[in-house]
Amino acid sequence: MTLLELQRRMGGVIMAPLARRNSGGPERKEAEALVKPNSRLTSLERLDIYRRSYWYRLLDSLYDDFPGLCGILGRRAFNRLSEAYLADCPSQSFTMRDLGSRLWDWLRDHAEYGGTNLTLALDMVQLEWAHIEAFDSAAQKPLGPEDLLELGPEMKFGLQPHITLLKLQYPVDDLRIRVQAASDQGRSGAASNAVLRRRERGIVHKYSALRPEPTFLAVHRVNFSVYYRRLAANEFRILDALRRGSHLEEAIGLLEESHEMVETWFSSWSRLGWFCRVANSKEV
């Protein structure tokens, strides 16, 4: 057996889903072929140390990345979702940052894991994945005031790669902030786990009963911190059109907002550094 073959066999055993563990049969024989027992542990038990460490680290990573979803579902349901998701969508990246990249599609297709309000859960997944993208996606040199002195109708704007525009059915930004604040307070030692769980349940109960409320968000980064900025519907439409490559005239042509309001929006976006150059764009 070559070293590469040994590594692949070890990896296959360690990364096999926890739910599929079998103390006998082929798995036990594979463990005995790879690892020697000692005076205290069998070959399979020794391998299970690494297997549990691997899986619990993945589960902890999903919990850290999706605290709002965990708050909506509850910890037990979230754990069931996490194990099922990772069994169907194992890590395919060198970094655990990408672990939840397929969660929205998976949850949409496995609605039984979404609790009593699947739409609310899906909205939260969108927001929390956008948070991850905003935290460490690339940033380009923003356009400065001198680049915006003359806005011609043929001008195109690029949006910073770390910005995600979301059109949601629930105000999950507020819910996520409150759940994260409760979690942070618990980590600081200001609240016991029992108090923390009651506080999170109270927050989620309050918001899970809300009626749908169209919510437009820009998830973005400023000075290495992630922010959720609420947008007016037409503000969202302009930004979305610009991101899709529309000219300035196309982006604002169908809106009924006043010229002053559009100028105010553009001024705000520029101050935040949201605009960057677009390759092959025609500037005036």
* Residue in 183, 187, 172, 178 with CA at minimum distance from that of residue 217: 172
pTM of the model: 0.83
Residue type, 265: W
6-10, 70-74, 207-211, 223-227: which has the minimum mean pLDDT? 207-211
- Residues contacting 170, CB < 8 A, separation 6+: 119, 120, 123, 207, 210, 212, 213, 215
State yes or no: pLDDT of 187 exceeds 60. no
Q: What is the pLDDT of residues 91-137, one digit of tens each?
A: 889 999 999 999 999 999 999 999 889 999 999 999 999 999 999 99
H helical segments located in the chain: 3-14, 26-34, 43-65, 67-73, 75-88, 103-109, 118-136, 172-187, 193-208, 233-243, 248-252, 259-271
The residue-averaged pLDDT of 153-178 equals 90
* Residue in 143, 130, 152, 146 with CA at minimum distance from that of residue 278: 143
Helices 43-65 + 3-14 axis angle, to 10: 60
Instruction: Show the domains of the chain with their CATH numbers.
Output: 138-171+210-284 (3.90.930)
Q: What is the pLDDT of residues 259-276, one digit of tens each?
A: 788 889 988 998 999 999
How far is Cα 15 from Cα 226, in angstroms, rounded to an integer? 32
Q: How many CB atoms lie within 10 A of CB 15?
A: 15
